[in-house]
Copies of this chain bind each other. A is one copy, B any other.
Amino acid sequence: MENERWDVLLDLAINEAWKYQFLTYPNPAVGASLVIKNKVFVSAHKKAGSPHAEVNVLWDAFSFFHKTPKFTDSFEIHEYLIKHHNNFFNEAEMFVTLEPCSHIGKTPSCANLLKVLKPKSVTIGIKDPIKSHSGGVEILKNAGIEVNLLNDKRCFDLIEPFIKWSKDKFIFFKLAQSFNGAITGGYISSEDSLNWVHKVRDKIDLLVIGGNTVRIDRPTLDARRVNGKAPDILIYSKNKNFDKNIPLFKVKNRKVFIEDSLEEINDYKFIMIEGGENLYKKLKDFVDWKVFIVTPKIFDRINYKLEDSFKILHVEKRDDLIVFGK
């Protein structure tokens, strides 16, 4: 056999997790898949406080084969599965991008749940790098579950933002461009991408933006498309003179800094820089990741120009491409 391709189950978990990258803040992006009775289920952790990836995929599988209540709360699902599993999962093979958690936080411990449900095997992308969360592997092994611990580079990439914002801060640069590199001359991205940006703005602590963008576009920079919270704003500008009627200054419960340094960033954990050519040039070696929203349109307009290169971590194909680079 040319390729041993049942590892596609981990690929599926990784790809599903990327769909919720940034949106799980302050939690990591985690995906899981499960094969049971020749059916494949895939899910992810979608939002802090909501069920972990493992719980979502276990519940999807259980609900497919059984009549179940419509639970969305982790504690309810854990309790229900522990009471009603009836050894249903004993032949299941599970794949998860990150070691199942051993600690009880906003949701109960996944490792303790798996210990009871006893799937045949759990294949794990990487160990949890946060000491206080790890220990899941031991719990599973002690329960007699076959554990395959991989050391998959892609699963590290997936949680790099989490590692960084947990320890200190994570900063990414977002740029919206046409397919041929035009970034000026009105809205470029699709509605779908604009909604995604608002979802991300709802999660970040601080949004950094250049002075000229504020003066020319007169933006609001909130998350109104998703009824989300508006992040604090740092206008990175030497010239501190702005028309205070620009909508971004009118948003309630938001701080706005106007500074010619980036020092304010140090008080925040999850920071997006929305910029163009100038900010990109200045900050390209300063940021952790770059995220490009690339629209499948070619314009008769000039491109942004600078020298840079990056590794593509992931591409989400939506109406536009969302390209995560490092």
Contact = CB atoms under 8 A, between A and B. Distances in A.
B40 A6 contact: yes
Given A8-B40, A92-B38, A300 B296 contact: no
A301 interface: yes
Interface stretch (A78-86, A110-118, A255-263, A309-317): A309-317
Contact of A303 (B120, B303, B307, B308): B303
Given A1-B64, A303-B303, A317-B315, A8 B42 contact: yes
Contact of A12 (B8, B37, B303): B8
Most buried by B among A4, A8, A314, A325: A8
A1 B57 CA distance: 10
10 contacts: A6-B40, A6-B64, A8-B42, A35-B35, A35-B40, A182-B303, A297-B310, A300-B306, A302-B302, A312-B317
Contacts of A305: 180, 298-302
Contacts of A5: 40-43, 60
A279 interface: no
Interface in A1-25: 1-6, 8-9, 12
Nearest to A61: B1
Contacts of A93: 38-39
A320 to B, nearest CB: 8
A36 interface: yes
Nearest to A299: B307
